[in-house]
Structure 1
Amino acid sequence: MHHSLSIVAQQLLLIPFVLACLMYITGVIFSARRQRSWSIFRTCSWTAGCILAGLAVAGPLASLAHHSFFHHMLGHLLLGMLAPLLMVLGAPLTLLLRALPVHSARRVSRLLRCRLFSLLTDPVFATVLNIGGLWVLYTTELYGAMHQNLPLHVFIHLHVFIAGYLFTASMVYIDPTPHRTDYRYRASILLAALAGHATLAKYLYGNPPDYVSTSEAEAGSMLMYYGGDFIDAVLIFLVCLHWFQAARPRSRQASHPIYQ
């Protein structure tokens, strides 16, 4: 992609995350005005996620990713895995419901119960969108084409983030989720997703995408494999933690800080 087009792409991709951070802070302010305190941890988590996503799509890392598969994969881990995890922990829907007036919050609650939201938060759908999308990206001509086409470049990066966010939100219920699924169901889908991600990393080690050298493919796939394992370990821990807490007596749950 031409340098000027690369700059435009970076600016276009940075805007949503800047707006997301500003809107979240605005929600915190409105919540405080209603005398509803908000967790500093969740604010920091959301802000950190926005910053990491911004670093992945704009700046030196994004520029290097056009020519280096290793740096591209580092951006993938930040944009598609770590940033979504941190932003899910920020509980944006919960903050939105606290900041809105009662009648508006009820409308949002009704929207969360619709069939479309149920589909988007279903673990199988989110996994196909997330892991399946990565297989299509790296095993077809799409990876090479995205570096030559501005709209495609922007679309794929947004897809990587949105798919990563929906996948994380479908596994770890931080925000209100009317269409909850069983822990065993989520755990089994999570294991399948982790296997699909790891298998793709191993495949790329010996089968580089278009325009990627063997050495770059090996370095990038190793980062994808081991870096993904680290982030996945955090996700597994959260799922198991919530599963354990859900199995505890309600009287003990009520006194635990995570429920307050």
Structure 2
Amino acid sequence: MSHHHASPAAPVVLPALLLLAAATGYLLLARRARRRNPALGWSGWRTAWFLTGLALLGAALLPPLAPAAHQDFRGHMAQHLLIGMYAPLALVLSAPVTLLLRTLPAPRARRLSAALHSPPARVVGHPAVALTLSAGGLAVLYFTPLYAATVHAPAAHWLLHAHFLLSGCLFAHVIAGPDPAPHRPSVPARLVCLGVAIAAHAVISQLMYGGFWVRVPAPAAQVQGAAELMYYGGDIAELLLAAALITTWRPAPRPHPRARAAG
């Protein structure tokens, strides 16, 4: 199972340039945020999370993993975990939307805020939609001919990476993102959604390991190894996401007994 690109350097140079541009842009915006409001500043932890997310993307999209992923399905699964689960969590914890709201000119910031409150944003930001795009996309990819169709099509392969990244960021944002989300459900509802995601990943990985309905053109040993990576690596990523959710949980204060009696 292999496919080749027209230019050997393109798969290395282009991702590296995009990652470098993203890091530069975030660092410049963080410096602008600190200069605009020195008292409020911008958290160094947020910046560290963003750079960590880019490093994880770099590990997935650059050698040695990227070339190996074209030859071994286990490498592809390692890419999926990095691009679709680990990197999105780190990027979301960097609060990029909050950074944009603090640094954009006022008219653009108002337009961005209005977009976050729009009906389409409410639909896309629903946990069920995020879960369907993330976990449901895996079932479609591995249990239909879709994966085989991407193997020899570089454009489809990069679109697959983009789907992993965007759906992963959406799911991480819906569950535990620090950025503003006006229509985000309650914490218990998000925990239930995360539990469903954990169960879905477990079922998909077990079906893959057993060879049920799998449409992946790879040796059985590679498919089983990839299924194990999905099972254990996915569990760790989802536990990290649950930890991120718990650390941002701020229960509403209960009224004092005397205040309730007075009422």
Q: TM-score by structure 2 length?
A: 0.88
Would you identify which runs of 4 or more consecutive aligned residues in structure 1 move more than 4 Å? 9-16
Aligned residues: 249
Paired position in structure 2 for 1:35: 37
Residue 53 of structure 2 corresponds to residue 49 of structure 1: yes
- Give 1:62's aligned amino acid: A
Question: Structure 1 stretch 163-172 or stretch 106-115: which is displaced more?
Answer: 106-115
Length-normalised TM-score, structure 1: 0.89
Instruction: Tell me which residue corresponds to 2:251.
Output: 246
Partner amino acid, structure 2, of 1:91: A
CA contact under 8 A between 1:84 and 1:165: conserved in structure 2? Answer: yes
How many angstroms does 1:59 deviate by? 2.1
The partner residue of 2:82 within 65, 78, 87 is 78
Measure the CA separation in 2 of the matches of 1:50 and 1:203.
31
Distance 1:98 1:239, change over 3 A: same
Q: 1: distance between equivalents of 2:122 and 2:22?
A: 23
Which residue matches 1:95?
99
Alignment of 1:8 with 2:10, yes or no, is yes
Counterpart Cα distance in 2 of 1:111 and 1:204: 39
1:221 corresponds to which residue?
227
What is the percent sequence identity of the aligned residues?
Answer: 36
SS at match of 2:248: helix
Q: Secondary structure at the match of 2:168?
A: helix
Task: Check 1:6–1:166 CA distance in 2 against 1; reply closer, same or farther (3 A cut).
Answer: farther
Task: Report the AA paired with residue 110 of structure 1.
Answer: A
Higher helix share: 1
- Match status 1:112 vs 2:127: no
Q: What is the identity, as a one-letter code, of the residue corresponding to 1:210? A: V
Partner Cα distance (1:6, 1:248) in 2: 58
Worse-matched range after superposition: 197-206 or 32-41:
32-41
Alignment of 1:130 with 2:134, yes or no, is yes
Pick which of 179-188 and 227-236 moved more: 179-188
C-alpha distance after superposition, 1:57-86 (max 9, x if no partner): 222101100111111111111100000000
Q: Which has the larger radius of gyration?
A: 2
What's the offset of the Cα at 1:12?
Answer: 4.6
Relative to structure 1, the CA distance from residue 204 to residue 13 in structure 2 (aligned partners, 3 Å threshold; closer, same or farther) is: farther
Aligned-pair Cα RMSD in Å: 1.9
